[in-house]
Amino acid sequence: MDYRRTKRILFFNVFMNCVFISLQDKEKVLLDMVESGGELGWLTWPDQNGWEIAQQAVNGTLLYSYFVCNVEAREQDNWLRTTFIQRHPTATRVFVEMRFLVRDCNSFNAHSLTCKETFNLYASEADADIGTSFRKGQFRKVATIAPDEISRVGNMRFNIETKVVENLSRKGFYLAFQDIGACVAIYSVRVYYKTCPATVKSLAAFPETVAVAGVENQALREVVGACVENAESEDQPRIYCTVDGEWVVPVGHCQCSPGYEAVDDTCQADVCKPGFFKASVSNEACEPCPKNTHPSGPGAVSCPCLEGFYRAPEDPMTGACSGLPSPPKTLTSTTAQMAIGKLELSWSPPGDTGGRSDITYNVVCERCEGSVCLPCGDKVRYEPSNIDIKETSVIVSELEPHLNYTFTVEARNGVSQLSSQRATSTISTALHYTDPPSVTGMRLVERSAKSLSLSWSVSRRANPSTIHYKLMYCKKEKDEAKTCKTFTVLFLEKNTAEIGGLSPSTVYLFQVQALSPESKVGSNSVEEEFSTLPEVGSTAVILGAVAGGGVILLIVLVVLLLRKRRKNSHTRQGPEDAYFSSSEQLKPLKTYVDPHTYEDPNTAVLKFASEIHPSHITKQKVIGAGEFGEVFRGILKVPGRKEAAVAIKTLKPGYTEKQRQDFLSEASIMGQFSHQNIIRLEGVVTKFKHAMIITEYMENGALDKYLRDHDGEMLSFQLVGMLRGIAAGMKYLSDMSYVHRDLAARNILVNSNLECKVSDFGLSRVLEDDPEGTYTTSGGKIPIRWTAPEAIAYRKFTSASDVWSFGIVMWEVMAFGERPYWDMSNHEVMKAINEAFRLPAPMDCPSAVYQLMLQCWLQDRSKRPRFQDILSLLDKLLKSPDSLKTIADFDPRVSIRLPSTSGSDGSPFRSVSEWLESIKMSQYSENFSMAGIVSMEQVLQMKSEDIRNIGVRLPGHLKRIAYSILGLKDQTSTLSVFAV
């Protein structure tokens, strides 16, 4: 029987059932007998009677197998060698998977002794293909291949056996199958090595890795990976590849970068969609943008703050943005109950904290003198501190008296440092000592028989110009104790006094008290007694001198006499002469000529005024009433000259010649002046029955009325500008040695450009013309409220008395036409002035302007500024408007006069309209009634915003009403006090 044929048939049939398993990714095949197809070109040895190749078409594919079945012959040694298999450089270990059939030896009965049921696997390494040269000795045995299943006829059993060839090191190798007498068919040989395939685990990518033993033959091989794109890890990710091609134990943790969110094995930016953000390296999802931020774009790592909102450095980027706080509210300063030099600032927290709780405050102090403000420096103390305070009050000490301080309190929170904007509230306050300084010593400077000169000093530093003194003295009766029962009182601005009119050889008791500006009450007084000298030439003295043989006394007498003479001569010259002769060295180019020096006043008129023909004048409308007749607005049309608007003053019919001359004398005076701020004379009509004086037309009429009509509507700067014009006009007049005598706002005219011009000139007008003119004891008619004390007392009218009047005009202007000294009688005014009281600062009056007024009202006329000084100071103020920002202290109780009939219930007015009328705000009566404010009780409840809400818009009016309410509330207010 031909076994071979039998076996071939037997084996070939098996192909039909052959199962091809798919290759796994991790197996890298170096040789695959089935896959290669075609003739494999394997070497068989010996050439004959050994391994044979068979082929069969299965499903159109040719499949090959090797078989051998020499079970009958003895000592079989048949080799089947593969082609050269290239090795992967790192694959030191390869797997050889064989599929084969082995026939059961028992199925060959006769030859059971020589029949084998195993074959051997050999391997031989080489660096290159050695072709057909085959030497058995070069092969090492890998394994004996024994079948698990033996095949019998009709029962074919496939075996799959995998053997490992290890420690390979050369470029390639050969495998060989040795048959030693079995009946074997090999259908498939697959040679492969294993890898751990490229993978991504926990966002870390690991490369494909050959699965071979690791260091020291460990079964695990450490592999270093890298985080996937847009992921990061603190430690390098690692993993282990087993020899079986399995990844195990990943180490290290990759997480998506900011702005990226994990999707499967990747980190994606577009998952973090607009309006969302992810700030950190994490595997968290993106979060929605927090409060006060811009919605972010895709893949945002943070959401930027909206404009005006910030994140403090310590704020997390994931947190909301916060804004600046609003300024501290209701900043107030209190000096009450505080010791000298201290005040307490307190405020309320800002309404808006910017959404934060870390509010602190900084306090900045500036001290202001005039318009100049400087930092307060280190000297000033703050309790608890001036920076970074959490409290809402601070006690400021070591302040100096009589300086204006400005305190700025800034509310800050954690983001304030990120903005240049400041949330500040400012308060200005002048610290006045509540008690005046005390007088420390009084001494006699000089004495005579009828006078005593005294001086004294004050205890501590204080602005001397703001301290005034009250000197009381009386004659000391012999039997009297050291106090006076009745005494004379003098109010003084200086710490010296010269008391005249005393009796010779008499002891006088003196008491001096210092008065600080606001206290009005004196400190403890110092008492001294001094006596006058005996009368010069009195028998007693001469006798005394002779009796004492007193040559020395004689010398003293001579010295005293000389002094007296020198003093007398000084008195004769008079301080006002010094005032004009010493300082006004520069004589004006032109000097005013008194028309009375002309024998015929008509000559004077013709000399200084040009005659106008009445036909050139057209009267249009009565605009005022003068002492001598009506004043018209009209047109002047002189042939060859431009038509001009003019004011026409007429002389009423029935005048006397004296009245006519007085009337025209104004033109004689006016005609001598030519200045921007002096009303310009166009001409006169004298040659006709109806005499007329024609002047330039001033559209806005008299200044006092104009200001009353525009109360609160003009800025300090504009008001000071008007004063500047008046001062310039007055300087011109004083340069021409003209003394006006009736300078008052009612005598200033205002044109359409709000230029102010001095008007109302005339010789008799002070006596006749001015409704304010009051007969004085000396017989003259004088506008008391505007006139300097020396002019009232002894008719000493000089430019210095005009300066006093200018001070009153300044006050009228700054008070928008308020009547000086309100409803006080002329007598009360004179008394107050003599007692050193002065008008208080008008509301909102710049401090520098008020100081200038006070200078104009110095008792000693030689100390008053000259118009030249006034003009240059006003110019200076106008050049630096900041200098007008410091506002003089204003006392509403004094400056808005409340009726003296104030009731005990605190509401002296019977109706709201009566009250409004008293404060000259009647125009708002309807606003109050429309708003339902019909009783004074309701008025007292009103706050600033309520006043604004009912329609009072002008700041001046708002203040006037608010201050009045304040004054009404303050029952303790002393209404008549306005001491300076």
654 is in an annotated binding site: no
Q: Which helix (H) or strand (E) holds 660?
A: helix 657-670
Position 115 contacts ligand AMP (CB under 6 A)? no
Q: Any binding-site annotation on 623?
A: yes
Is-contact 365 387, C-beta < 8 A? Answer: no
* Residue 669 contacts residue 716 (beta carbons within 8 Å): no
Question: Are 765 and 759 spatial neighbours (Cβ–Cβ below 8 Å)?
Answer: no
Q: Minimum Å distance from CB 769 to ligand AMP? A: 7
Q: How far is the CB of 701 from ligand AMP (least distance, A)?
A: 4
Helices 539-547, 551-573: inter-axial angle, 10-degree rounding: 140
Closest distance to ligand AMP from the beta carbon of 625 (Å): 6
Give me the catalytic one of 704, 742, 760, 769: 742
The amino acid that residue 938 corresponds to is Q
Largest Cα–Cα separation, the chain: 197
Has 630 been labeled as part of a binding site? yes
CB neighbourhood size of 612 (10 A):
22
Q: Which of 442, 702, 736, 845 binds ligand AMP (CB under 6 A)?
A: 702
Selection from 823, 864, 816 nearest residue 842 by Cα:
816
646 is in an annotated binding site: no
Euclidean distance between CA atoms 307 and 318, whole angstroms: 17
Minimum Å distance from CB 468 to ligand AMP? 37
Residue 596 Cβ vs ligand AMP, minimum distance, rounded to whole Å = 20
> Is residue 627 part of an annotated ligand binding site?
yes
Residue 558 vs residues 500, 562, 563, 844: alpha-carbon distances, Å: 20, 6, 9, 57
CA 686/CA 796 separation, integer angstroms: 34
**Partners of residue 644 on adjacent β-strands:** 636
User: Please, which residue, 359 or 749, has the CB nearer to ligand AMP?
Assistant: 749
- The span from the CA of 49 to the CA of 615, in Å, is 164
Question: By the 8 A CB rule, do 151 and 101 touch?
Answer: yes
Classify 420 in phi/psi space as left (phi over 0), alpha (psi -120 to 50) or beta: alpha
Closest approach of ligand AMP to the CB of residue 749, in Å: 5
Unique residue bearing structure tokens 């700054």: 814
Residues 439-458 that bind ligand AMP (CB under 6 A): none
- Residue 625 labeled ligand binder: yes
Residue type, 727: A
Kindly state the tokens that stand for 523: 């400190």
| One character per residue 664-683, x = contact with ligand AMP (rule: CB under 6 A) | ---------------x----
CA of 910: how far to CAs of 277, 427, 443, in Å? 70, 36, 56
Half-sphere exposure of 725 (CA within 13 A, CB side): 23
Q: Which is nearer to ligand AMP, 121 or 631 (CB)?
A: 631
Q: Is the dihedral of CA 315, 320, 324, 329 positive or negative?
A: negative
State how far the Cα of 413 lies from the Cα of 393, in Å rounded to an integer.
17
Minimum distance of ligand AMP from residue 630's CB (angstroms): 9
Task: Please indicate if the annotation marks 624 as binding a ligand.
Answer: yes
C-beta nearest to ligand AMP: residue: 624
Looking at the Cβ atoms of 760 and 790, the one nearer to ligand AMP is 760
Cα gap 276→899, rounded to integer Å: 70
Phi, psi torsion values for 593, nearest 5 degrees:
-110, 125
Q: How far is the CB of 591 from ligand AMP (least distance, A)?
A: 24
742 is catalytic: yes
Is residue 749 involved in binding ligand AMP (CB under 6 A)?
yes
Shortest CB 623 distance to ligand AMP, Å: 5
Q: List the structure tokens of 682.
A: 């166009």
Q: Could you please report the per-residue DSSP string of 832-863?
A: HHHTTB-PPPPTT-BHHHHHHHHHHT-SSGGG
Q: Is 626 annotated as a binding residue?
A: yes
Mark the segment that binds ligand AMP (CB under 6 A) among 459-467, 482-490, 694-702, 848-856: 694-702
Q: Is 951 left (phi over 0), alpha (psi -120 to 50) or beta?
A: left
What torsion do the CA atoms of 912, 913, 914, 919 make, to the nearest 10 degrees?
90
Among 527, 525, 509, residue whose Cα is nearest residue 437: 525
Rounded to whole angstroms, how far apart are CA atoms 806 and 820? 12
Of residues 525 and 759, the one with the C-beta less far from ligand AMP = 759
Minimum separation from the CB atom of position 759 to ligand AMP (A): 6
214-222, 451-459, 593-601, 693-701 -> range binding ligand AMP (CB under 6 A)? 693-701
Retrieve residue 472's tokens: 């009381």
Tell whether residue 629 is among the known ligand binding residues.
Answer: yes
The smaller minimum CB distance to ligand AMP, of residues 644 and 979, is found at 644
The answer to the question of whether 200 is labelled as a binding residue is no
Q: Tell which one of 605, 647, 670, 756 touches ligand AMP (CB under 6 A).
A: 647
State how far the Cα of 205 lies from the Cα of 198, in Å rounded to an integer.
7
Contact letters for ligand AMP, residues 595-634 (x by CB under 6 A)? ----------------------------xx-x----x---
Task: Find all residues with CB under 8 Å of 973, minimum gap 6, and list them.
Answer: 893, 898, 967
**Binding-site size, ligand AMP (CB under 6 A):** 15
C-alpha atoms less than 13 angstroms from C-alpha of 785 in its C-beta half-sphere: 20
- Least distance from C-beta 729 to ligand AMP, angstroms? 14
For position 763 contacting ligand AMP by CB under 6 A, the verdict is no
How many CA atoms are closer than 13 Å to the CA of 174, on its beta-carbon side?
A: 29
DSSP state of 181: S
Task: Tell me the binding residues.
Answer: 623-631, 649
Where along the sequence are the contacts to ligand AMP (CB under 6 A)?
623-624, 626, 631, 647, 679, 695-698, 701-702, 749, 759-760
Task: Tell me the binding residues for ATP.
Answer: 623-631, 649
User: Which residues are identified as catalytic?
Assistant: 742
